[in-house]
Structure formats: structure tokens, C-alpha cells
Amino acid sequence: MSSHLFSPITLGSLTLPNRIIMGSMHTGLDHSEDPFGRLAAFYKERADGGVSLMVTGGVSPNEQGLISPGAMKLTDAEQIEDYKIITNAVHESGSKIIMQILHAGRYAKQEDLVAPSAIRSPINQFEPKAMTQQDIQRTIDDFVHCAYLAEQAGFDGIELLGSEGYCLNEFTALRTNHRTDEWGGSLENRARFPLEIIHAIRRKLGPRFFIQYRMSVLELVEGGWNIEEAQQFAQLLESAGIDLINTGIGWHESSIPTIAMQVPRAAFSWATNKIKQAVNIPVAAANRINTVDVAEKIIQRGDADLVYLSRPFLADPEFVNKAQEQRTNDINTCIACNQSCLDHLFNFKTVSCLVNPRACHETIMPALPKTASPRNIAVIGAGAAGLSFAIEAKKMGHHITLYDANEDIGGQLLYARKVPGKEEFDELLRYFRVMIEKYQIDLH
């Protein structure tokens, strides 16, 4: 039993039964025909799977902050009812959900973008306009209004995205903040923008409104801050009244991988530990935490108070329930391939998952019902497709016989797993073997 992972914790006004947070993910569903209905189904399935606290994908507080045209935003009271579709679905399943407020800054894929300084990102064709004093104050007001609307829509709090090189992070980093006024220069000045936002939200919504901040710990770019500066900023966040610090690693423009398959599991929890040592509020670790054992060890050794998992909930919505019921072998592990999540997103497609195609398609690919007319089905080939079909058909009640010419299952996966840095494919093979045994599928 994962005793540390499943111990309760209080975060400001929220009390959670475990230490697992479902982290923010861009899903691409904001561009679908029924974005709120599909997002509600996506989050509800994870809530039913045992998630106690989840974070939405990024929602912009104004037009200039949109990550791309048509992306999610919450700027007007008329939008509240749409977002209630999501919060009601999650609350009906007994879970809590907070909204991530994301101002894209110079990462915005649109022409009307702003940043602390007029410095173009190497991964964006558009150059931002440097924010004026009026722009800064208006943006602070927009963040506050967005947080207020989120509360009215039923969200249990917010996460301010201040990592990965987005707008709040651009203010705190010398790399992107070349200002010479009170918003640039010293760390105190560079931190002023996010801190003013926090203070203003607290004044508007009070001390019990839950706020967590995702801060950049290791920026992995030239001109990024060091651990000591990150610790100082964390202390400023604590003084401003943040309830939880969530630790982000790397900027999107960094050439150093942070979530790819070749990155060791929990590779950056040591950096989270540095932040935890500097503050007296809870801290969450993120990046390449994909198994119960890895998550438990992070909490056990004191690197963090909570773990922040995102892609593992694409792979298996039942991750928490299975872990709590000591069915960890039944968990369909995220293998960090990024082929159907990030690759789809960058190509403006709806996100899915290589090991769970239903992810983000819950209303289009509903769970298959039990059949009233079982059939005898022969499946030829025990590669990924054959194995997936055999398992799903068996769950429906059909009689399955699986044939393969090789002695071992897996097909091309047996070759993929041998590529250096691709060893996580072993997890997919492990899962298939467990399911074949669990459902007693005849294999020849």
C-alpha cells in the first residue's frame, strides 16, 4: 500500500484524501464542435477514476493572452454557464477542479501579442509588443476578473501558470525582461507582476479562495535563473499568500528534454526538494512521474508534498482507483511517447493517447457495452492492434483466441523496446501480458 501517497493533506481551504493532483493538459478540445460537453466528459471520467483534485488546461484572461485563435478564455459573465458544464460534472463525481489561468505572452500564436519586452521567441513567428504601464495594469485587472468568473462558474480555485516561458514567467526571467522601470531589473522588480496579480486576487476573493502557482524551477535556457533565485521567488509567493507551489521544469524553447521517454523517471524531483526546503507551504513535483512506485518514493523521501501527474491520466483514467485498491499491475502506464498528445497538439489535432485512444474522445468512443450475443473470434497477430482488440472484445464478453507466429507477444513493440531511450515500451508489453492473464485470453 502506498501509505504516503494516500495520506490526506490540507491545502489552504481544500482538504484532499491523497497526494495526487491531475495536472493541466492542453487537449485541443477547445476547437471541437462541443468543447464544453467533451471537456466535461473527459474530466468526469478521471473524477470517477478517483482523482480528488484536477487542473484544467490553460484558460486565457484576455484576448492578447490567447495561446492561439479560438483557444479557451474566460473574460465575460456570459461564459459562466459554459464552464459550469465542466464543474458540475466533476463535482457530481465527488472531485474538485481548479482552473489554470494562462496568459501566453510571447508564445501566443497570433499577431496581437504582448510581453514584458519586445523580444521574439525562437519558436514563434510573431514579435510581441512591449507592455506599457497601462497594459500591465489592465492585464492585472483581467487576471482578477478571470479568477472571479472562475469562482462564479463553480471552480474550487485557480492555478496561475508562471512557468514554461509564458507571460508571468517572462516577467520573472532576465532572458525576456529587459525593462528598466519598476517591472524589471532586480528579482524584486521582476517578481512584481505576478505578485501584484496574487495580491489583487486575494483582495477581491478573500483569504479562503484557493490559489496555486506553477513556478519555473529549472528554466534550462540561457538567461534563466538559478536555484537560489527560484527559492527566493518561492518565498515571495509564500508571503503573497499562495496555498500551493507547483514546480515546472524547462521552457518550451529549451533544447533540453523534460518529459520525453529518454528522460529518467522523476528526474527533476531533486529540484522540487530545493523549493520545499525554502518554504513552509506544500509543494508539488511534476515531470516524468508515471508509476505509483515513483510517486510514492517522491513523497516518502520528502522531495515534495504532492505529485502532479498529467499524461498518466490520458493513459489510464482509473490510475488513482487502481492504485488505492492495490491493483497497480492493472494500470495502463504512460510511456512518455508524446505521439498522440503533444504531437497532435502541435499539429492542431485533438489530443489522444497511444495506449488509450479513448482519451479526449469519451463522447465519440463511449465504453463498449457487454454483448448479448457472444461470438467466437480468432485474432491473428499479437502486436499492439491485435492485443488491444482481443482485450476489448473479451471485456465485452466475446470468446477470443489470439494467434501469433512468435513465441512472445508484442509484434513490432519487441523491436521498439530495444532502441536506446525507448525502454518504456516494456510497460506497454507488461500491461498487455497482465490483461491477457486477467481476462484468460487463449493465446496460440
pLDDT digits (tens, 9 = 90+) for 25-70: 999 999 899 999 999 999 999 999 999 999 999 999 999 999 999 9
Residue 207, phi-psi category: left (phi > 0), alpha (psi -120 to 50), beta (remainder)? alpha
Catalytic residue among 43, 83, 166, 431: 166
- What structural domains and CATH numbers belong to the chain? 9-346 (3.20.20.70), 376-443 (3.40.50.720)
Looking at residue 348, its pLDDT comes to 87
Q: Residue 280 carries which DSSP code? A: S
Per-residue model confidence as pLDDT tens digits over 316-349: 999 999 999 999 999 999 999 999 999 999 898 9
pLDDT of residue 424: 95
pLDDT for residue 246: 98
Would the pLDDT of 426 be above 60? yes
Q: E strands, 291-407, where?
A: 306-309, 376-380, 399-403
Q: What is the mean pLDDT of residues 377-396?
A: 96
pLDDT value for 199: 99
Contacts (Cβ under 8 Å, ≥6 apart) of 359 = 42, 314, 315, 317, 340, 351, 352, 353
Residue 1 reports pLDDT greater than 70: no
Instruction: Round the average pLDDT of the chain to a whole number and report it.
Output: 97
What pTM, to 2 d.p., does this model score? 0.96
- Per-residue pLDDT at 367: 87
Decide if pLDDT at 2 tops 80. Answer: no
Residue 101 C-beta-side C-alpha neighbours within 13 Å = 30
Q: Is 439 one of the annotated active-site residues of the chain? A: no
**CA-CA distance, 382 to 396, in Å (whole number)?**
19
Q: Record the cell numbers describing residue 396, joined without a space.
A: 465485452
Each residue's pLDDT tens digit, 101-144? 999 999 999 999 999 999 999 999 999 999 999 999 999 999 99
Angle between helices 35-48 and 80-92 (to 10 degrees): 20
Q: Supply the pLDDT for residue 190.
A: 98
**Mean per-residue pLDDT for 8-23?**
98
86 pLDDT more than 80: yes
Per-residue pLDDT of 209-253, as tens digits, reads 999 999 999 999 999 999 999 999 999 999 999 999 999 999 999
pLDDT of residue 224: 92
Cell of 250: 524547462
What local confidence, expressed as pLDDT, does residue 155 receive? 99
The confidence band for 368, taking pLDDT boundaries of 50, 70 and 90, is confident
